[in-house]
């Protein structure tokens, strides 16, 4: 009898405890909500209703919980039948710490759920709230930085269907599929940086950062810190927290080393270690950091001559020269001039078109500044032109003094003749430099051997 009374007393105390717990949490929380098995609101206190823009809590009754509380996970609690004891919920004002519990019927089936939004003033949870806000800020900053570090160009933007252009794109696409270093060689303004972006965009690292550093644009005494980063307080005036270098920023992605021929010798040896050992030390640090970057280098200098003068390390050259890509100057791919001109005018937002004599004039220029110079000339011509058609006179005015191609031909009357005359002179000069060796001349010109043989036959040029 005593045991029976004790059992009844336990059940009564348990019910009182449950009711007291609910009342205490409800009164001391920022809000409370109860939903049925379909996740529709059956009760909501007034404080919670006002937080989500409702004048009266009765307006929420019967509504799906997500329509009143965006991001609510009450439906997940009902579906899974498991509580979420501590979670963060974003609201228009500030994030809340919330607790969600399933409600079971007498048979143990889930018949709904109850949720509490705990006070954000709770001192014990204040560090968690601050940490959450900090993580959100860091995540937003990281996403913004990653978007800024994405490749800007693709292979579609390397305009040209000439044999030389197609060979460049073929080799570059092959390089994109591997992690081996790529060395882009060519004059300034030929599109080496565009190709570096395109290689990264087509590689398995495309979703990771693309980071570039120009060795010629940064003072030599600052280049090492820019490259490797600095430890906290590494030198007078240094950031107390330290500063990550381009290697660390590019981790997992691609590091583009522009004008690498201008890199000082002391830094070249450290770069070689990165390529061989995949590790480096920030300036002023004894900590060795691991590196996982794909390196693409570019230069307009003759690295072979620089090695002979002792200005460039031979071991670094051979490490970088795994996949060399010679980017031809514009004068070696005049077949691409019409397409390039059209693409540049479209990029400038211009409706101008080049007349045939204007195109022929462009084909007679040697283009020492290459595609960068072509863009400058066309932009200047469109600004000076009153008519939609760009004449030879307008192009000549924008071009300035003509830098003639070194050809010895009859007077040129149209664009086709200009291209043919230049191509003939170019191939003859290449054969002369290579003593008639066609395979060697093909390599120098960036052409396939069979392609060069066909061009020689078409132009009536004899080879040994």
pLDDT band at 443 (very low <50, low <70, confident <90, very high): confident
Who's near 142: CB < 8 A, 6+ residues apart? Answer: none
Paired strand residues for 255: 211, 295
What is the per-residue pLDDT for 1? 47
Q: Do residues 265 and 253 make contact, with C-beta atoms less than 8 angstroms apart?
A: no
- Look up tokens 């640090």; give the residue: 285
Whole-angstrom distance, CA of residue 223 vs CA of residue 374: 32
Whole-angstrom distance, CA of residue 176 vs CA of residue 160: 19
Closest CA to 261 of 294, 223, 300, 296: 300
Domains and CATH numbers, the chain: 2-120 (3.30.450.20), 155-326 (3.40.50.300), 331-459 (1.10.8.60)
Coil, strand or helix at 117: strand
Whole-angstrom distance, CA of residue 461 vs CA of residue 423: 11
pLDDT digits (tens, 9 = 90+) for 411-423: 555 666 767 777 7
Q: Label residue 145 exposed, middle or buried (CB < 10 Å: 0-12, 13-18, 19+).
A: exposed
- Res 79 pLDDT > 50: yes
What is the per-residue pLDDT for 408? 43
What is the per-residue pLDDT for 126? 59
pLDDT digits (tens, 9 = 90+) for 43-70: 888 888 888 888 898 899 999 999 999 8
Find the radius of gyration of the CA atoms of the chain: 35
Percent of the chain with pLDDT over 90: 41
Whole-angstrom distance, CA of residue 458 vs CA of residue 394: 34
pLDDT digits (tens, 9 = 90+) for 302-335: 898 889 889 999 999 999 999 999 999 999 999 9
Max mean pLDDT among 6-10, 86-90, 346-350 falls in 346-350
Which residue would you say has higher pLDDT here, 140 or 441? 441
What is the per-residue pLDDT for 93? 73
- Look up tokens 């009536």; give the residue: 460
- Look up tokens 């059940």; give the residue: 11
Max mean pLDDT among 1-5, 100-104, 127-131, 443-447 falls in 100-104
Half-sphere exposure of 96 (CA within 13 A, CB side): 23
- Res 299 pLDDT > 50: yes
Max mean pLDDT among 47-61, 179-193, 275-289, 423-437 falls in 179-193
């Amino acid at each position: 009898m005593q045991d029976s009374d004790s059992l009844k007393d336990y059940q009564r105390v348990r019910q009182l405890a449950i009711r007291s717990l609910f009342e205490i949490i409800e009164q001391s929380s920022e809000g409370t909500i109860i939903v049925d098995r379909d996740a529709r609101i059956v009760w909501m206190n007034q404080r919670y209703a006002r937080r989500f823009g409702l004048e009266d809590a009765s307006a929420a009754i019967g509504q799906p919980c997500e329509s009143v509380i965006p991001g609510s996970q009450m439906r997940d609690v009902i579906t899974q039948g498991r509580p979420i004891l501590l979670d963060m919920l974003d609201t228009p004002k500030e994030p809340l710490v919330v607790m969600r519990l399933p409600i079971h019927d007498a048979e143990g089936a889930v018949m709904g759920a109850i949720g509490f939004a705990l006070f954000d003033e709770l001192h014990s949870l204040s560090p968690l709230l601050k940490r959450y806000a900090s993580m959100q800020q860091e995540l937003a900053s990281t996403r913004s930085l990653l978007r800024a570090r994405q490749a800007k160009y693709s292979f579609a933007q390397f305009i040209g269907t000439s044999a030389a252009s197609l060979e460049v794109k073929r080799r570059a696409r092959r390089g994109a599929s591997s992690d081996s270093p790529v060395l882009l060689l060519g004059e300034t303004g030929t599109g080496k940086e565009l190709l570096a972006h395109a290689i990264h965009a087509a590689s398995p690292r495309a979703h990771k950062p693309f980071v570039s550093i120009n060795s010629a644009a940064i003072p030599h005494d600052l280049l090492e810190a820019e490259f490797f980063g600095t430890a906290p307080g590494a030198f007078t005036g240094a950031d107390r927290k330290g500063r990550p270098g381009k290697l660390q920023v590019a981790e997992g992605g691609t590091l583009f080393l522009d004008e690498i021929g201008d890199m000082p010798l002391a830094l070249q040896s450290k770069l070689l270690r990165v390529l061989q050992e995949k590790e480096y030390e920030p300036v002023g640090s004894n900590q060795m950091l691991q590196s996982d970057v794909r390196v693409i280098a570019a230069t307009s200098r003759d690295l072979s001559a620089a090695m002979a003068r002792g200005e460039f390390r031979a071991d670094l050259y051979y490490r970088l020269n795994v996949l060399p890509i010679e980017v031809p100057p514009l004068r070696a791919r005049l077949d691409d001039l019409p397409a390039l001109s059209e693409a540049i005018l479209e990029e400038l937002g211009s409706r101008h078109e080049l007349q045939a004599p204007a195109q022929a004039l462009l084909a007679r220029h040697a283009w020492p500044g290459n595609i960068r110079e072509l863009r400058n000339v066309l932009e200047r011509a469109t600004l000076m032109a009153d008519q939609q058609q760009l004449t030879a006179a307008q192009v000549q005015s924008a071009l300035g003094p003509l830098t003639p191609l070194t050809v010895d031909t009859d007077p040129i009357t149209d664009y086709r003749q200009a291209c043919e005359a230049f191509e003939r002179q170019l191939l003859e000069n290449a054969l002369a430099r290579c003593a008639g060796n066609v395979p060697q001349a093909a390599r120098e010109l960036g052409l396939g051997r069979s392609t060069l043989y066909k061009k020689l036959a078409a132009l009536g040029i004899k080879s040994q």
